[in-house]
Structure 1
Amino acid sequence: MQPHHSETPTQPSGTLPLGQRVLRRLHRVPPVLWPLGFGGLVLAGATLLHFVDPNEPGHYPTCPWLMMTGTFCPGCGTMRAIALTTNGDILGAASMNPLLLLLGPYLLWGYARWVWTAVRPPATPPRPTPIWFLWALVVTITVYWVARNLPWFSFLAPGTPLFPGW
């Protein structure tokens, strides 16, 4: 009786492809470390923006969309808005990127929910985000993107005061 030969090459026992080894190691990381690590990176970035002013040229790269097209993307002004927020200037931050301040509470809520479910996993899987909410978010960002580049909505451009005279 001859041994069974497989057509696919087998690997020596005990070795796995690199991708599988990486996935196994990632699954060993405690789930709470992912949101805490992400929060630490965000905090480090906000601290950097607090101490290194994005209004001074040469410290940070220019928005690639703005460089290529000359128009503002939905994220233009976000770095300066975060820097102003860390200094307590909420109105100044709103003038840089009003959408960021409108979405800020939802982003914080989503992050808090992520941390909470990592610390105390629910007994049942969380409900997925409704598709209508995701579509509404895409439409809102797209309308904002177009509107902030139109002359009638120039108050949405970065640096334009939302409330002149305040």
Structure 2
Amino acid sequence: MTIPAAPDPGAGPTSSADSMRPVGPVGPAGPVGPGRPVPPPASLARRLLPPLATLAGVAAAFTYVGLVDPNETGHYPVCPLYGLTGLYCPACGGLRSAHAVAHGDLAGALGANAPAVVGYAVFAVLWTVWIVRAGKGLPVRIGLRPVWWWALGGVILAFTVIRNLPFGSSLAP
């Protein structure tokens, strides 16, 4: 009885599955590398479609909230947390804030929900970076370390607690 020798690692593929595995990097159209075609870049219209569609959705939402006043009862549902407990969640006042922004009332927007206004500004900056990088064909990555996400959560939690205490009533919508 003979024992087969171990396959030589430099001898090439040993099975049909190994022979089908690409050797180099793989792109959207298949393997790429020396001697292989590089996939063509996406057209400008295809690269700009996601950020422009996102902007269209946000613009539609702000238009609707700008036309249908959340300060009048009956147009929007009551916040479930506020309806059940009487406590304001971090988003309470967000619709009123968006309505004020849509009408150019920055002071009213900050009074309704200041973190929401900061969020609108952050969205505008990130969207601008996204559209510029998409136009150049570059990827967009938000590489925040976990400590920043925890800090953001802590700020939102502190805002929520303070706005529900008697001395923080100026933060309530």
Q: Same fold (TM over 0.5)?
A: yes
- TM (normalized to structure 1)? 0.70
1:36 to 52, 55, 60: 52
Root mean square deviation of aligned Cα? 2.0
Deviation string, structure 1 residues 124-164 (Cα, Å, up to 9, x no partner): 77461232221211111111111111111111100xxxxxx
Which runs of 5 or more structure 2 residues have no equivalent in the other structure?
A: 1-44
In the alignment, residue 128 of structure 2 is paired with which amino acid?
A
1:112 to 128, 151, 157: 128
In the alignment, residue 134 of structure 1 is paired with which amino acid?
W
* Identical-pair percentage: 34
**Deviation, structure 1 residue 114:** 2.2
| More displaced stretch, 125-134 vs 74-83 | 125-134
Deviation string, structure 1 residues 46-74 (Cα, Å, up to 9, x no partner): 11111111111111111122112210011
Report which structure shows greater RCO (CA 8 Å, sep ≥6).
Answer: 1
In the alignment, residue 117 of structure 1 is paired with which amino acid?
R
Distance change (3 Å), C-alpha of 1:78 and 1:126: closer
Tell me whether 1:80 sits opposite 2:91 in the alignment: no
Number of residues paired by the alignment? 129
- TM (normalized to structure 2)? 0.67
Which runs of 5 or more structure 1 residues have no equivalent in the other structure?
A: 1-28, 159-166
Alignment map for 1:121-140 (pairs within 5 Å): 121-122=137-138, 126=141, 128-140=143-155
Deviation string, structure 1 residues 65-106 (Cα, Å, up to 9, x no partner): 211221001110010111111111111111100112233322
| Secondary structure of 1:76 counterpart | coil
Tell me whether 1:149 sits opposite 2:145 in the alignment: no
Q: Work out whether residues 130 and 140 of structure 2, in 8 Å CA contact, stay in contact via their aligned partners in 1.
A: no
In the alignment, residue 109 of structure 2 is paired with which amino acid?
A
